[in-house]
């Protein structure tokens, strides 16, 4: 439980956690090679940070990783750093590669129940030493957001993602561009804030701090899941091979439109048999925005009848993190569907 204090006598402490990624790279202009720089010297690289009214500390992974190598073991490392410094730090900024940032940030959001401090993920499309880099603005503003207080408490009490002037709920985001600075969108939930001349927050969209409950951190994930994307002409053999992977416990089924899938007998039978074997199957839409509405069309009614889990408007990234997380909590099969279909951290409507 967070005890709010008079911040007029205390400068907020912000911890930067560098896991790897482009934002922490500098270019050797003789060789054009990129290498991670020492974050202990961050204020020398970005002297503007000294203008911020907060105390900035840094910690880095011993071996910074490319985001393509991100996995649940690294998610737990991030969580344990936050846990270790939680009482003494007022806000956290996690720097990581952009390719898997939405997956990682979503996972961290599920791990921390009753969070009452900001955890802001950010990164960049260009290295911090590049002439046209977006790293400086993203980093400076992410720190500024993490340090903002209101009535003696943190303004933000959830896991967010800040990128290119916009603050999002992390578990609502998806990466949409590998080339544009505006790399992330939140297709089914409004942005939480925007950075312009002033920082403006969408107060109605923010998660409210629960003063009656203490922080709970859960670190168990189960890796035995798979994404099965439906496409025209997908064969019975392909679906059968995927659903019969040894030790498989969960499937993210990416369907068409509002949750529609083939109605041929073999497809229905394979899905039903998998559910009968207590494999959790979550229906999410392939569309960038919108929601699964099971039973809205005949082509999804058969999935509803056999007990598939309705992913509603959750992103695939968030669904992956949530499925790994919930299976790791060993929830009884009879309760799992209802648990998944219930919003835990604002990840679905």
pLDDT digits (tens, 9 = 90+) for 121-132: 999 999 887 888
- Confirm whether 285 is a catalytic residue: no
pLDDT at residue 3 above 50?
Answer: no
Domain assignment of residue 1, yes or no: no
Confidence of residue 7 (pLDDT cuts 50, 70, 90): very low
Beta strands 112-113 and 55-60, pairing class: unpaired
Domain containing 22: what range?
Answer: 7-217
Nearest one of 155, 120, 117, 116 to 138, comparing CA atoms? 120
Confidence of residue 29 (pLDDT cuts 50, 70, 90): low
Mean pLDDT of 32-54: 80
Question: What HEC string does 18-61 produce?
Answer: ECCCHHHEEEECCCCEEEECCHHHHHHHCHHHHHCCCEEEEEEC
- Given the residues 19, 22, 98, 100, select the one marked as catalytic: 22
Tokens of 255: 């369907």
Task: Please tell me the distance from the alpha carbon of residue 102 to that of residue 239, in angstroms, as a whole number.
Answer: 27
> Same structural domain for residues 168 and 238?
no
pLDDT tens-place string over residues 67-105: 999 999 999 999 999 999 999 999 999 999 999 999 999
Domain assignment of residue 177, yes or no: yes
**Could you identify the residue written with the tokens 């030790």?**
247
Task: Please tell me the distance from the alpha carbon of residue 26 to that of residue 45, in angstroms, as a whole number.
Answer: 10
Task: Please tell me the distance from the alpha carbon of residue 129 to that of residue 292, in angstroms, as a whole number.
Answer: 43
> Same structural domain for residues 105 and 210?
yes
Where does a domain end: 195, 217, 239? 217
> Same structural domain for residues 41 and 151?
yes
């Amino acid at each position: 439980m967070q005890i709010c204090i008079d911040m007029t006598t205390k400068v907020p402490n912000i911890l930067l956690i560098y896991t790897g990624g482009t934002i922490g790279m500098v270019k050797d202009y003789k060789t054009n090679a990129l290498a991670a720089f020492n974050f202990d010297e961050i204020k020398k690289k970005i002297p503007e940070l000294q203008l911020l009214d907060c105390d900035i500390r840094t910690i880095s992974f011993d071996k910074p990783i490319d985001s393509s190598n991100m996995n649940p073991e690294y998610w737990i490392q991030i969580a344990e750093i936050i846990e270790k410094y939680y009482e003494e730090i007022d806000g956290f900024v996690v720097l990581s590669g952009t390719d898997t940032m939405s997956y990682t940030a979503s996972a961290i959001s599920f791990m921390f129940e009753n969070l009452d401090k900001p955890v802001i993920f950010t990164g960049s499309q260009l290295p911090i030493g590049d002439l046209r880099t977006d790293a400086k603005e993203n980093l400076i503003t992410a720190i500024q957001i993490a340090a903002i207080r209101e009535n003696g408490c943190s303004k933000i009490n959830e896991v967010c993602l800040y990128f290119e002037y916009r603050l999002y709920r992390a578990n609502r985001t998806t990466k949409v561009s590998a080339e544009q600075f505006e790399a992330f969108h939140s297709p089914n939930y409004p942005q939480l804030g925007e950075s312009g001349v002033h920082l403006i927050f969408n107060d109605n969209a923010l998660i409210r701090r629960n003063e009656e409950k203490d922080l709970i951190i859960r670190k168990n994930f189960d890796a035995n899941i798979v994404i099965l994307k439906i496409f025209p002409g997908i064969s019975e053999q392909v679906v059968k091979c995927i659903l019969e992977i040894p030790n498989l416990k969960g499937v993210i089924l990416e369907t068409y439109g509002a949750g529609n899938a083939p109605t041929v007998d073999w497809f229905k039978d394979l899905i039903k048999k998998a559910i009968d074997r207590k494999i959790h199957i979550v229906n999410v839409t392939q569309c960038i925005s919108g929601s699964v509405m099971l039973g809205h069309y005949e082509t999804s009614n058969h999935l509803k009848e056999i007990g598939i889990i309705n992913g509603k408007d959750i992103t695939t990234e968030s669904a992956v993190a949530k499925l790994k997380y919930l299976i790791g909590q060993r929830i009884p099969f009879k309760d799992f569907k209802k648990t998944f279909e219930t919003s835990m951290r604002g990840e679905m409507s």
